[in-house]
Every structure is written in structure tokens, then in C-alpha cells.
């Protein structure tokens, strides 16, 4: 019904930048909130950044000032611009979206995850 395809992960240098994208496709009316989570090896999954339909954003303290979440509604895509990368940013990153499949029905979807490794 709805597919989320993530891209942009890979190997980044400390202090460098990467941009993740998550494109939604399928049958849906609209996308409500969109967010990025990450899970480092041996650690709990945490919400990294979130953006509402209206454009309000929220970030975990560890990425504030370095990461930016934004969305392109015309492309049904959410992005995570990651600057000033640190080794601690190494994790599998997942996009998470709330999709409105009917006017009064919303369904949550997870992306497949993309590995981000920050190392010199």
C-alpha cells in the first residue's frame, strides 16, 4: 500500500556532511508528521528529528545545530541534512511517517533503514 524508500546513507568523514532522503509512494491522501530515528549498535532507538505538516521541527539535543530536517511535500519526501558529523552519529537511520490513507484514518510506516557510518 505504502512504501518508504530511504537513500543517502553511507560512509561520512568526521566533520563532513550527508543527506538522507525518504520518499513515500503508494496510495495515500497525504502525509502528516514525518520524522527520523536512529539506532546505534547496542543502544536504544531514539528520535533524531521530527517535522509536522505545518513545518514545526524538533530535534534531539545531540544533533541540534548540526542536523536539519525538511520536507518536500510535492515529492512526498523528507530529508535529513547532517552536517558536522561525529563518530557518535554512526547508526542505522529510519524514517517514520504518519500517512493519511483515508480522510479520518492515519497509518504509521517505517522505512527500511539506511546505515550511516562516520569514521576517519
**Per-residue pLDDT tens over the stretch 78-116:** 999 999 999 999 999 999 999 999 999 999 999 999 999
**Per-residue pLDDT tens over the stretch 6-51:** 999 999 999 999 999 999 999 999 999 999 999 999 999 999 999 9
Looking at residue 23, what is its pLDDT? 97
Looking at residue 39, what is its pLDDT? 98
Mean pLDDT of 61-77: 96
Looking at residue 6, what is its pLDDT? 97
Output the nine-digit C-alpha cell for 113: 533503514
In whole angstroms, give the CA distance from residue 26 to residue 88: 34
Question: Which residues, at least 6 apart from 87, have a Cβ–Cβ distance to it below 8 Å?
Answer: 14, 118, 119
- Nearest C-alpha neighbor of 56 from the set 72, 67, 70: 70
Looking at residue 81, what is its pLDDT? 98
Looking at residue 4, what is its pLDDT? 96
Strands of the sheet containing 67-72, edge to edge, are 2-7, 18-26, 77-82, 67-72
Output the nine-digit C-alpha cell for 107: 497509518
Res 1 pLDDT > 90: no
Amino acid at each position: 500500500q505504502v512504501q518508504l524508500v530511504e537513500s543517502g546513507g553511507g560512509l561520512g568523514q568526521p566533520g563532513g556532511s550527508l543527506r538522507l532522503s525518504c520518499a513515500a509512494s503508494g496510495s495515500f491522501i497525504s502525509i502528516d508528521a514525518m520524522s527520523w530515528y536512529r539506532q546505534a549498535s547496542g543502544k536504544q532507538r531514539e528520535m533524531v528529528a521530527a517535522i509536522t505538516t505545518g513545518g514545526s521541527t524538533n530535534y534531539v539535543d545531540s544533533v541540534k545545530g548540526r542536523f536539519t530536517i525538511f520536507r518536500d511535500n510535492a515529492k512526498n519526501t523528507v530529508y535529513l541534512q547532517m552536517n558536522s558529523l561525529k563518530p557518535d552519529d554512526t547508526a542505522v537511520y529510519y524514517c517514520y511517517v504518519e500517512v493519511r490513507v483515508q480522510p479520518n484514518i492515519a497509518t504509521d510506516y517505517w522505512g527500511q533503514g539506511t546505515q550511516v557510518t562516520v569514521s576517519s
